[in-house]
Amino acid sequence: MSMMTAEQYIESLRALKTRVYMFGEQIENWVDHPMIRPSINCVAMTYELAQNPEYSALMTVTSSLTGKPINRFTHLHQSTDDLMNKVKMQRLLGQKTASCFQRCVGMDSFNAVYSTTFEVDAAHGTHYHENFKSFLTMVQDNDLTVDGAMTDPKGDRSKAPHEQSDADMFVHIVERRADGIVVCGAKCHQTGSVNSHWHIFMPTISMNEADKDWAVSFACPSDAEGMYMIYGRQSCDTRKTEEDACIDVGNAKFGGQEALVVLDHVFIPNEYIFLCGEYEFAGMMVERFAGYHRQSYGGCKVGVGDVVIGAAALAAEYNGAERASAVKDKLIEMTHLNETLFSCGLACSCQGHATKAGNYQIDLLLANVCKQNVTRFPYEIVRLAEDIAGGLMVTLPSQQDFTSDTVVGRSGETIGDICNKFFAARDGVPTEHRQRIMRFLENVCLGAAAVGYRTESMHGAGSPQAQRIMIARQGNIQGKKQLAKAIAGIPAE
């Protein structure tokens, strides 16, 4: 099969029997649900751009497994150029959607699991690497979207998986059979889970021998028996269900999504198992996936940042304030912060190296520095955008008020007339344009899109302390001490 078009991707989801629940009820037609469809449109853009000759060089690549052209989101990185092109591709998609396009977690899991299984096999004589290569070949040949699932509920954070009062707080093996395993548990905050054809499950922390039943990695289809998803709420999400509310939604076409993914005694055949009790490799898989995913934020969040900066500049222009030196300075600062994030994404990519399996891994220290900056800079970019936009971003009447024909004025003016009069922009700019840009900024800064930009910048790919732990581990303080001793004339130990 050749690479899918956006339309073919959307239709392929209809063939799945994925169980999705929202507001306490099962959603039968989740593909067309107004709260879910914007996130599907985001994933569809990864397919659409791959078909566009203008972007195909960035969006597509030759498979190292089959030699066929594939979507870059299903690729195993073969060079530092591949790593940098990944970041550039993610920035492009952020610019096109101003949201989370959800396919990054799968791409990052492919590369982490590929290299880890190679080393597990070398140590234990297992066949996980061949299992994974066969699985990924199928994914590439069919141009599938795969969700990478890592974050467990964790329960009592002070306890290891085997110490939890409820074993399901971490995904674990409940039965070993000759033809496979049966697993239970859940994964939280799963970006793109509903919109994916398959899932790859991975451990979420390093483990010891007592946790070997929880040291498990595998793939399964999203509509596997015993697997279901509970859709996560977002701020202002029900605006998408309101009639004729495209302006009030802010970003009416695109959006992200997260869900709780539950595994209730799901059977996993042997050919889809990538780790099964080899607990000493759980940490390696976690660390590598986290590194790739922290690199990703130096691309996707930068692309969204580009749109936020543009929206803030438009808000200033519509307000007639674009020439103010304070506004110009804020836009410069926003640009500086955004390009710094991009620089971090590129830096950890160009400093990458080949793994023992042959695919390329980013520089883990710089990837963690990249994500540490992402936990801070988008917040400042949003703050400055809110500063430029002004209070109207959160006090604007509804779209229905601007179109209302209810008479309220002494001269026969309607509510719509009054709103369009008093919220008019500078001369030559339609009031609706000002409405749209204010609602868009509200959406990105505070609403549903904030989940995929501001809040996800903090907690996606690990909360800030997770990066600080890795920075401390990889920062080589002892080596830096020796550098200082050498120059200061202090004998080395």
Active site residue ranges: 100, 104, 191, 258, 293, 297, 300, 456
Distance CA 176, CA 470 (A): 34
CA distances from 179 to 133, 175, 215, 272 (A): 19, 11, 18, 11
Q: How far apart are CA 220 and CA 227, in angstroms?
A: 9
Residue 75: CA count within 13 A, CB half-sphere: 25
- Cβ atoms of 373 and 344 within 8 Å: the answer is yes
* Among 95, 94, 57, 90, CA closest to 73: 90
Distance (Å, whole) CA 256 – CA 373: 22
What sign results for the dihedral spanned by CA atoms 484, 465, 113, 81?
Answer: negative
SS3 492: coil
The whole-angstrom separation of Cα 37 and Cα 21 is 15
What is the rounded CA–CA span in Å between residue 485 and residue 372?
A: 29
Q: In the chain, count H helices and then E strands.
A: 19, 14
346-379 in b/e burial notation, b at 16+ Cβ within 10 A?
Answer: bbbbeebeebebebbbbbbbbbbbbbbbbbebbb
Location of structure tokens 């971003």: 393
CA separation, residue 432 to residues 198, 381, 401 (Å): 41, 25, 12
